[in-house]
């Protein structure tokens, strides 16, 4: 009997589909119906019946029009949430990769160092976050002072020292937009730390999967640490950067103010139709953002076996 020849590409595709099959079954059985009902509610006025259940009155795009033209805070909340997402996601990815590289270095008691670092991150402790947030506020507040005041205050603490040095960067004509981004990043440091736990774990796994011989070859060729990072480390972890970006965007969306606004509108104001329209709009925008980001990053991604 002649054996059926199956290409390696087909085998890998089959393994991939088998890997996501449990998720796909759960998605089709549970999530699709909820998604359909959300769209249905967004196109209707929902009234809860005294005897139980609900009644739908089809109103078309009325809820969507109200969301953009009649509601007082939706547009502002949506814009703010998207801007925070655009700012936070790159910071979280870069911070996670940086910390993962530090924790992946050979050192004494590396396991203990990782445990000490991950306990406040994974347990969402306010100790480290509160300290860094206070330092960020000191730093941001110091930027409005003169350089002389900065220098006088520099001796009082390291956070103000940082503000003093940023002020110096401003005096050497560093663009204001760059300074604003730095200050904003420092001001978000507590949120960035709390949102980076899973990403750091994934990046450590990615770094440990890189063949050591690649670094040995780079060292033999005389590559500097900077060149080794951009020529070896970064391309090899790029697929995991895409994974972490998707996770970070979804995580940021699930904790955004738009979700809280939709929840409040539904269960406090009992306006389920308008709340559903909020959810549909924000979900469509987030999925579109995900598609664009993944498409652009995939074009520059190197996949290896």
Domain contains 145: yes
Q: Answer whether residue 283 is part of any domain.
A: yes
Q: What is the pLDDT of residues 172-220, one digit of tens each?
A: 666 666 666 666 666 677 778 778 888 888 898 889 888 888 888 888 9
Give 138-175 pLDDT, tens digit per residue.
434 444 443 344 334 433 444 445 566 566 656 666 66
Rounded CA separation 47/49 (Å): 6
* Alpha-carbon gap, residue 83 to 189, rounded angstroms: 16
Q: What is the pLDDT of residues 218-257, one digit of tens each?
A: 889 888 888 888 888 888 888 889 989 999 998 888 888 8
Residue 302 has pLDDT above 50, yes or no: yes
**CATH code for the domain of 118:** 1.10.3720.10
More confident residue, 258 or 106: 258
Q: Does 259 have pLDDT greater than 80?
A: yes
Domain span including residue 113: 31-298
Decide if 214 contacts 201 (C-beta within 8 A). no
Q: Average model confidence (pLDDT) for the chain?
A: 78
Q: Per the domain annotation, does 2 fall within a domain?
A: no
Query: Has residue 24 been placed in a domain?
Result: no
In a domain, 12, yes or no: no
% of residues, the chain, pLDDT over 90: 9
Number of domains, the chain: 1
Residue 180 lies in a domain: yes
């Amino acid at each position: 009997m002649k054996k059926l020849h199956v290409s390696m590409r087909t085998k890998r595709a089959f393994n991939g589909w088998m890997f996501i099959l449990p998720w796909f079954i759960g998605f089709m059985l549970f999530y699709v119906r909820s998604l359909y009902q959300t769209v249905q509610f967004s196109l209707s006025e929902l009234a809860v019946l005294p005897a139980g259940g609900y009644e739908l009155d089809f109103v078309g795009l009325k809820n969507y029009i109200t969301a953009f033209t009649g509601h007082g805070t939706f547009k502002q909340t949506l814009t703010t949430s998207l801007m925070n997402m655009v700012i936070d996601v790159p910071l979280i990815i870069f911070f996670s990769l940086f910390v993962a590289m530090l924790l992946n270095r050979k050192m004494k008691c590396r396991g203990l160092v990782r445990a000490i670092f991950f306990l406040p991150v994974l347990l969402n402790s306010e100790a480290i976050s509160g300290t860094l947030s206070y330092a960020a506020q000191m730093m941001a507040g110091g930027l409005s002072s003169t350089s002389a005041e900065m220098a006088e205050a520099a001796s009082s603490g390291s956070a103000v020292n940082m503000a003093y040095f940023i002020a110096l960067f401003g005096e050497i004509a560093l663009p204001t937009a760059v300074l604003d981004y730095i200050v904003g990043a420092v001001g978000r440091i507590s949120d960035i730390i709390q949102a980076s736990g899973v990403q750091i774990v994934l990046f450590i796994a990615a770094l440990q999967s890189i063949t050591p011989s690649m670094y040995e070859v780079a060292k033999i060729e005389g590559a500097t640490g900077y060149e080794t990072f951009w020529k070896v480390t970064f391309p090899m972890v790029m697929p995991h950067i895409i994974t972490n970006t998707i996770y970070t965007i979804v995580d940021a969306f699930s904790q955004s103010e738009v979700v809280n606004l939709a929840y409040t509108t539904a269960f406090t104001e009992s306006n389920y139709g308008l709340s559903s329209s909020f959810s549909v709009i924000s979900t469509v925008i987030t999925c579109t953002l995900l598609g664009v980001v993944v498409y652009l990053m995939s074009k520059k991604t190197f996949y290896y076996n």
